[in-house]
Structure 1
């Protein structure tokens, strides 16, 4: 299992998903009234200096990221059944892309309605970029699994 490079890619994606689930913000909004942080736990409204928490709204995005991390671990440990691991890795990549598109759509369509005041600045934060880095890792893992599958299928044809 460790000799295969796709295991390292999947392990990297799992680590990134766990980090995103428990640490950091996806994006921030600065308005003329307050400072808003959108992270895996929901929306936090702070004073303009960012030190005092005014209110917290819970949107459990961390459930989706943790489920993706668990599914990636399942894909990692299903190495004995290569055909199923190949299908699972394709599904993992698709689900990861859907979560990423969902967060971007949340930023553009839903989040501006949840902030109060005139938006002065909107920017993505480090957790969002960590989440984006995990997408190519899942794709590289899928490509590695596909390469192993092709190698084993060609060896089976030789028998």
Structure 2
């Protein structure tokens, strides 16, 4: 599928990704396409605990695999997480693949995984769009989750991160 975004020569991956954050649900596959990343959303992962992976191919392109056995909303988050790795950490991705397990651990280091998780939330549920919905009176976690095609747990965490809901443990 061809991306609906016109990529300009010299744009950074971050600038390209930003162009997709204006409507919900965010077109993550279109974003991957615009970034020149091939994606398999129904991969048969060798490790059943693996949620996804990203690697650089010998031709220099990048390839994301998402565990086809995971449910749809989890696969969307996994794709966002792997796109975040590309945007933030493509300099450390090689042909061996950066593989994330079900707890979003790749062995690349806690800081790198934390960064990828935070950016995945930004890509899946952009702060500006979430706040716009909230300020328009959409204060229901389920509705927000459905709007962004995210799990209710992910939507609740995002609302907490944005200070729109108190932390669940309070």
What TM-score comes out, normalization by structure 1 length? 0.29
* Greater relative contact order structure (CA < 8 Å, 6+ sep): 1
Q: Which has the higher strand share?
A: 1
What TM-score comes out, normalization by structure 2 length? 0.28
Task: Report which of the two structures shows the higher radius of gyration computed on alpha carbons.
Answer: 1
Q: Which has the higher helix share?
A: 1
